[in-house]
């Protein structure tokens, strides 16, 4: 595989995954457009199978995996959505899967992962803790590991989001993408710019876990000593090596959004757009509403709503100020 992925990589990955995923819609948002001054569209991966874009990458990985390695069984670590993606892909290929999730993983995501047939093990407080445990179990049980973000083959699958977006909205000027470990923005940035290199790609990170922004500034992966927000999907201490390499070349800017603004955006999307987006998915909307992104009036701006696996019990228990 070349240093960076090409349009052909994304096209082939999409073909492999296509029988098992949905082509999610690109929705216009007059309300967000009026509020921001941009022409806003939303790539609604909230309607994807398993509730998020995360199903795309594992399907591409398993399609190309050595059958002997695949049949040994899979293992992954996840904040929640990668767990469901791997579990769904494992069911497609009729192989067993073990998923290690942090103890802070949302109940809804845990139950959904088990419903796909995966064994779920809870360990640690954030993804990094679960990741360490999953590697230990991998060695003990001789399982095959599926990384959630630091794998070009997986990223080729995730990039299908960007490929579909630029095909359905070819006149885009700016795309806002949430960043956790960096897999989604890496795939989207390369896929979109393989078709239109003039599109500006803006990453959105939680202010309390700015791993990619700090790593880009430092020129190498920076391990955060501690992370603040507890929005699963945005919280890692260490982003991927390959995603950082891609972001340094293809991502135009990274903005940081406070946790309260993200949760406000979750509620706003439900109230005003009738869309259920989880915290990570709402981060681009929060950045747009908070005027953190520069664009010219009337430019076409897309927000990637990466997933809709929202735990409503969390909303009920949170004081919204």
* Domain shared by 166 and 258, yes or no: yes
Closest CA to 205 of 281, 150, 266, 257: 257
* Domain shared by 29 and 74, yes or no: no
Q: Rounded distance, CA 195 to CA 303, Å? A: 18
Residue 128 lies in a domain: yes
* Domain shared by 237 and 258, yes or no: yes
* Domain shared by 123 and 76, yes or no: yes
Q: Rounded distance, CA 186 to CA 243, Å? A: 5
Q: How confident is the model at residue 320 (pLDDT cuts 50, 70, 90)?
A: very low
Residue 238 lies in a domain: yes
Q: What integer is the mean pLDDT of 117-140?
A: 94
* Domain shared by 282 and 294, yes or no: yes
Q: Rounded distance, CA 254 to CA 185, Å? A: 11
The pTM of this model reads 0.94
User: 61-102, pLDDT tens digit by residue?
Assistant: 999 999 999 999 999 998 778 999 999 999 999 999 999 998
User: 20-70, pLDDT tens digit by residue?
Assistant: 999 999 999 999 999 999 999 999 999 999 999 999 999 999 999 999 999
Residue 45 lies in a domain: yes
Q: Of 78-82, 227-231, 282-286, 290-294, which range is least confident?
A: 227-231
Residue 77 lies in a domain: yes
Domain end: 105, 121, 145, which one? 145
What lies within 8 Å, CB to CB, of 117 at 6+ separation is 87, 90, 91, 96, 97
Q: Which residue has the higher pLDDT, 108 or 229?
A: 108
With the C-alpha atoms ordered 139, 144, 146, 150, is the resulting torsion angle positive or negative? positive
User: 214-238, pLDDT tens digit by residue?
Assistant: 999 999 999 999 887 667 778 899 9
CATH number at residue 235: 3.40.50.1100
- Residue 256 backbone class (left: φ over 0; alpha: ψ -120 to 50; beta: rest): beta
Residue 33 lies in a domain: yes
Residue ranges of the alpha helices (H) in the chain?
Answer: 7-17, 30-36, 56-64, 67-71, 81-92, 107-115, 127-141, 152-158, 160-168, 183-195, 211-218, 241-250, 259-268, 279-289, 312-317
* Domain shared by 199 and 182, yes or no: yes
What lies within 8 Å, CB to CB, of 187 at 6+ separation is 5, 10, 57, 155, 156, 157, 158, 159, 160, 161, 162
Determine how many CB atoms are found less than 10 A away from the CB of residue 267: 13
* Domain shared by 267 and 158, yes or no: yes
- Averaged pLDDT score across all residues of the chain: 93
* Domain shared by 244 and 192, yes or no: yes
* Domain shared by 192 and 60, yes or no: no
Residue 2 lies in a domain: no
* Domain shared by 77 and 200, yes or no: no
Closest CA to 245 of 189, 284, 198: 189
Report the number of distinct structural domains present in the chain. 2
Domain end: 96, 129, 145, which one? 145
What pLDDT score was predicted for residue 1?
43
Q: Rounded distance, CA 298 to CA 314, Å? A: 36
Residue 93 lies in a domain: yes
In the chain, helix, strand, coil percent, each to 5? 50, 15, 35
DSSP 147-162: -SSS-HHHHHHHTHHH
Q: What percent of the chain has pLDDT over 70?
A: 96
* Domain shared by 218 and 177, yes or no: yes
CB 301 within 8 A of CB 174: yes
* Domain shared by 172 and 310, yes or no: yes
Length of the chain as a residue count: 321
Flag whether pLDDT at 287 surpasses 70: yes
What pLDDT score was predicted for residue 209?
94
What pLDDT score was predicted for residue 318?
55
What pLDDT score was predicted for residue 199?
98
Domain end: 111, 145, 179, which one? 145
What pLDDT score was predicted for residue 198?
98
What pLDDT score was predicted for residue 231?
77
Q: Rounded distance, CA 9 to CA 6, Å? A: 5
Which amino acids are annotated catalytic? Answer: 54, 306
Determine how many CB atoms are found less than 10 A away from the CB of residue 33: 16
Domain containing residue 243: 7-53+152-317
What pLDDT score was predicted for residue 319?
44
Residue 1 lies in a domain: no
């Amino acid at each position: 595989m070349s240093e960076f992925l090409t349009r052909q990589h994304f096209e082939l990955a999409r073909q492999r995954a296509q029988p098992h995923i949905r082509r999610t819609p690109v929705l216009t948002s007059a309300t967000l457009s009026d509020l921001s001054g941009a022409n806003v569209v939303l790539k609604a991966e909230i309607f994807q199978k398993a509730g998020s874009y995360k199903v795309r990458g594992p399907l591409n990985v398993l399609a190309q995996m050595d059958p002997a390695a695949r049949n040994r069984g899979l293992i992954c670590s996840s904040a929640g959505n990668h767990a469901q993606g791997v579990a769904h892909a494992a069911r497609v290929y009729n192989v067993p899967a073990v998923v290690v999730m942090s103890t802070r993983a949302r109940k809804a995501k845990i139950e959904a992962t088990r419903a796909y047939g995966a064994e779920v093990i809870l360990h640690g407080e954030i993804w990094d803790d679960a990741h360490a445990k999953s590697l230990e179990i991998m060695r003990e049980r001789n399982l095959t590991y599926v990384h959630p973000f630091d794998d070009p083959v997986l990223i080729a699958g995730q990039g299908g989001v960007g490929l579909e977006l630029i095909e359905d909205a070819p006149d885009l000027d700016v795309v806002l993408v949430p960043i956790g470990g960096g897999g989604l923005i890496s795939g989207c940035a390369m896929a979109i710019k393989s078709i239109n290199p003039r599109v500006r790609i803006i990453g959105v990170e939680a202010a309390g876990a700015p791993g990619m922004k700090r790593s880009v500034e430092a020129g190498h992966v920076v391990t955060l000593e501690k992370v603040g927000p507890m929005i699963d999907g945005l919280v890692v201490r260490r982003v991927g090596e390959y995603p950082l390499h891609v972001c340094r070349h293809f991502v135009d800017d990274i903005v940081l959004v406070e946790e309260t603004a993200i949760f406000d955006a979750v509620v706003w999307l439900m109230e005003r757009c009738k869309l259920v987006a989880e915290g990570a998915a709402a981060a681009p909307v929060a950045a747009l509403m908070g005027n953190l992104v520069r664009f010219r009036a009337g430019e076409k701006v897309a927000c990637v709503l990466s997933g809709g696996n929202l735990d409503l019990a969390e909303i009920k228990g949170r004081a919204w100020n």
